[in-house]
Structure 1
Amino acid sequence: MSQVRIEGLTKRFAGKPPAVAVDGLSLEIESGEFVVLLGPSGCGKITTLRSLAGLETPDEGRISLGGQTVLDVRAKVNLPPNKRRIGMVFQSYALWPHMTVRRNIGYPLRARRVGRDQSREWIEETARLVDCAGLLDRYPAQLSGGQQQRVALARGLVARPDLVLFDEPMSNLDARLRDQVRAQLHELHARLGFTAVFVTHDQSEALALGDRLAIMRAGRIEQLDTPQRVFEEPATEYVAGFIGMSNRLVLRRTGGGWAAGDEPVTGDIPVPREHAEVAVRLRPDDVLLAQPDQRPPPGAIGLPAQVVDAQFGGRHMDVVVSAGGTRLHAKTPLAGNAWVRHLAAGEPVTAWYADQAAIYYGAGDERIAGHRPAAAVGA
């Protein structure tokens, strides 16, 4: 399997002013590694993927697959997609409606002029791997969404590509099928060890599938690390917000301690004295609620809050509170907290969090306190 090397990749789109979709991006992917490009719409992840595939022509940069240069803008090298030995799985499945599953899977083999006997063997073997061997004589219209996605995956793998590219392949599936296909893909990668680049805006997919995550922002990689490190140690506030720390509370230093808006905050904030204002990032399940006459436990940070909305979530209540003029989302477990079942808008509560659950960021978006030292940040 192939190692992928991207050097100084830049892609601009015409306009006034021109839009820079990918901005000097560099990335190395080891053989057999599954790398996820994660970020919101417009961050450059799909343009990067299309540049790897040969479907987009960058303005600057160099790409090599398995030691072969497939793009070098300065040297005017730009191999077309059919010369790059890649497989691609699209968001829309992109199956030919007039072809059987067998012919859809085998299309890359015909394009590469693989012999008939070899093609039959590879098609049937790959169909078995993705659990669609019983569908080979059907047409796409006769398949469910999950079955179509498995066929698309088989087509991406059948020609033994050096690199498999995934363009948000599960976004059209319902939640149950998405979980099922994700688990099958994870198992398949563990068995076959193919090199992959997977594009998504879904953090759950990224955490479950990636060997490494590249969090993208404005055409650059904001943080590149293992899923565990990115989840536990987001290097910047942007990464924290995107990886699930959706609650943001601004604290400012006062003469007697700290405050959120006009509300005093109880507890010690572990921030160096030179910082007069910080942004706290927290996950919804780290924001805890207590009745207004209850004090948070020792070592916790708390402040008065008011309920905005409360919804039943099964084993928890999804509660939105206003604290210091900021809306916070709390996933409050019902076990041991029966009182939260009856929360109504306008009720006073105390919102609090354990100090070790928070990460504190300064004015420059950098982490200044909380958890362990910052994870490596990519270029």
Structure 2
Amino acid sequence: MASRSVFNDASERVFTVQYRAKVADPQMTPDEEREKRAAAYALVQSKYDAGVPFFTKDALRDLARQFQANGGPGGKIAVTGLDGVTVHVPLESGQDYANRPYGDDFACVIAKPLVRYRGIRHLLDKRRIPAGGGVQLYVNSIRETYMPVGVGYSVEVRDAQTNEPVSLLPVAGYDAVKQKLDQTRQSLEASKEFAQIRSTLASVALPSGIGKVVALACSTMAAEINSPERSLAQHALVLLLRDLLSRDGSRPDVEGRGSGPARIQCFAQDPKYLPVDEQVLQENDVAVLDDPGAFLEIDETSVVLSVGPDIPVREIVADIARPAIMIWDKVVEMNQDQTRTDPVTPRVERMIQDYIELPFPPNDKLFGGLAIYVRKSAF
């Protein structure tokens, strides 16, 4: 049976793949800790104000290389912080995860490593969380305050007797997911919403050379977490955008304005994907990438689609590229932004100045409050 990621809370039945490899600080007195923490906050803020990129393709590419080379138990991943100090994070893949939150019949095992992303708000987070014995701990250690990227993991739930991955949620089979995606695609293509998207994109001069669609955090179509209809609709939109912007003659482009290659490439990344998701997407010519592969694909020829991610997608993109088109949560003023996992930050606001904001059809059930951002031709 396909593997699963453990849930934060068994009663909520919500996926989590952001288990965090903690980087601890050395022992110090309370006064030393206050002094060092204040220095860390000041340095991070000064780097941010000076425009130093917190996320770079070189750093992400290096982490991907290390995951491949050192991904087994006993390996270590080298991560360099904003202060220039490199730490070596021991890999925990294959080890038991904490306790057994679902009873003695199920074991939780730490699986493959992932990139742990921390945006500026997370790095400067001064909140404290309760620990055992009433002790209050900061969200980040001092060392982690310097680390926009770190190491996280997916976690598998397994049968305690057979060690086989098991499902704690209903999961649809291949035939059902394939059929649902085909139906969702047909329904969306015939909808007023997609007619509006087509008209909206036809109303502006699109950047030349659009060559790929990159989808981030569209979630699993197979497992019944929250609303699989949202995931199906978002993946259907990926396929329709590809057809709309391609020049292969099989489908109309945006009133003849499509200027990409004969067939636009599609890439998708989400640690929640199950084998069924991957098979269906690959059969629809969508390449499923391991983290951080999708970010490495984003460039000036890309259309980026991301709906309500639990990582700071917009902040990462602001540092690494200026895509041709971005379809994601509408950028609001920072003091109105309540999306903690993918917040609006000063760099996101500056990036958006290079774009024309266009309306996305309102649909809270399937897409939430999105907007379309098209890079200005003069950029």
Q: Same fold (TM over 0.5)?
A: no
Sort the TM-score into its range (normalised by shorter chain): under 0.3
TM-score by length of 1: 0.24
| Structure having the larger proportion of residues in strand | 1
Higher share of residues assigned helix = 2
Greater Rg, structure 1 or structure 2? 1
So what's the TM-score if we normalise by structure 2? 0.24
